[in-house]
Amino acid sequence: MQKTKFIYFSIFKHIMENKRIESAPKIEGQNIFPVEWEVETPELVDLYERAKKEAWNASDMPWNSLSPKDFDEDQKIAISYWFSVLATFERATPVFAKALIKAYETHAEQPVKFMFASLVGDEARHEECCMKCVNQLCPLWPWKWKARNSFEEEALKAVNWIYYNGSRYWRAFVKATDEKYSLPILFTSFMMAETGATTIFKSMAERAKHETFREIFLNIHRDEARHLAFTWYMLKKKLPYVGEEEKKQITKQLRAGFVFLSPILLEPISEFWKLPPNFLDWHRRLEEIARDAGLGVLSLEEKVKIWGNAVKTVSARLKQYGIEVPSMPEIGIYSGEDVKITEEDIALIGL
């Protein structure tokens, strides 16, 4: 019996040796294949583990304590306005989905791909919080909202101007990821955004007078802190090797990130933001009403101070790699060179 089995096996082996598979063609160009699971930065594996453990459900936030009865009509509109502006920047799911595809196609190390996958989910959750706040106070604001008075009309027009500019950003971003920038440059503007995100949500959680707002800001802040750590792991790895030309592009990206995020972190800067006369008056008024209603919106002075300090920290870290932070007089940073940005300079930015 044993002998017969041996003969069969030998014959089978002989047949198979004469039936070899030819080598697969070489995969040319950017492609998500072949599969590989390279790990170069173990810290990113730990960070991805953290992302899984810290995942949370937006539906579990204390929505029951956010009652429309706690606010007057103008306050409900002003809070909804603020969240619909924030959603411009939290609508980052497609931003990171594109970055995720780029990471796969350029065969970044595996934890980078997994981190981007976690960011896609995180940003959906942040946008979901914006949507839930709005739906609780002014259902279907702003896209199906019928203005009942001139105050609401102006608030609707203001948010539509923000979205119009958001669409200009989206077109520039698609171009930037598809054809223009290397990973270190994309990660610089991304880092700038995450610095802003951690700063704003932490400060707002400290100031918010309402439990629901405080809880969502704290939870979003935890995600943003992880995103920020991700950007620095990547930058620490890449920045020592960037050339002089790339350093200049990075300096430009810092200004681009700052300008793009200005409506939420400061006030819209006209270098990118095309807004009509009177917009700023309405924007300020709506932020003021939302602040009085307990949302935790920072005053302009607080924004200048907090955002200015955050950028100074970024500046000190980047100096180690010979990278200059450009001048940002709006937040008291005058030391760097004057950099002017245009629509085309906007790269990867999403809160």
* 224 vs 246, beta carbon nearer Fe ion: 224
What is the rounded CA–CA span in Å between residue 134 and residue 118?
A: 25
224 binds Fe ion per the rule CB under 5 A: yes
Binding mask 259-298 for Fe ion (x = CB under 5 A): ----------------------------------------
* 109 vs 224, beta carbon nearer Fe ion: 224
In a 3-state reduction of DSSP, which class is residue 205?
Answer: helix
Count the site residues for Fe ion by CB under 5 A: 6
Query: Which of 98, 125, 126, 132 lies at the binding interface for Fe ion (CB under 5 A)?
Result: 126
> Closest separation between CB of residue 209 and Fe ion, Å?
23
227 binds Fe ion per the rule CB under 5 A: yes
Expressed in percent and rounded to 5, the helix, strand and coil fractions of the chain are: 70, 0, 30
351 binds Fe ion per the rule CB under 5 A: yes
* 75 vs 253, beta carbon nearer Fe ion: 253
* 137 vs 220, beta carbon nearer Fe ion: 220
237 binds Fe ion per the rule CB under 5 A: no
* 156 vs 265, beta carbon nearer Fe ion: 265
91 binds Fe ion per the rule CB under 5 A: no
What is the rounded CA–CA span in Å between residue 150 and residue 260?
A: 29
Nearest CA to 195 out of 119, 258, 239 is that of 258
Report how far apart, in Å, the C-alpha atoms of 27 and of each of 30, 120, 164 are: 9, 27, 40
Report how far apart, in Å, the C-alpha atoms of 236 and of each of 41, 107, 171, 194 are: 11, 19, 29, 16
130 binds Fe ion per the rule CB under 5 A: no
What is the rounded CA–CA span in Å between residue 111 and residue 118?
A: 10
* Residue-wise DSSP of 320-332: TTT-PPPPBGGGT
Segment interacting with Fe ion (CB under 5 A) among 67-75, 121-129, 132-140, 203-211? 121-129
Residues that bind Fe ion (CB under 5 A): 90, 126, 197, 224, 227, 351
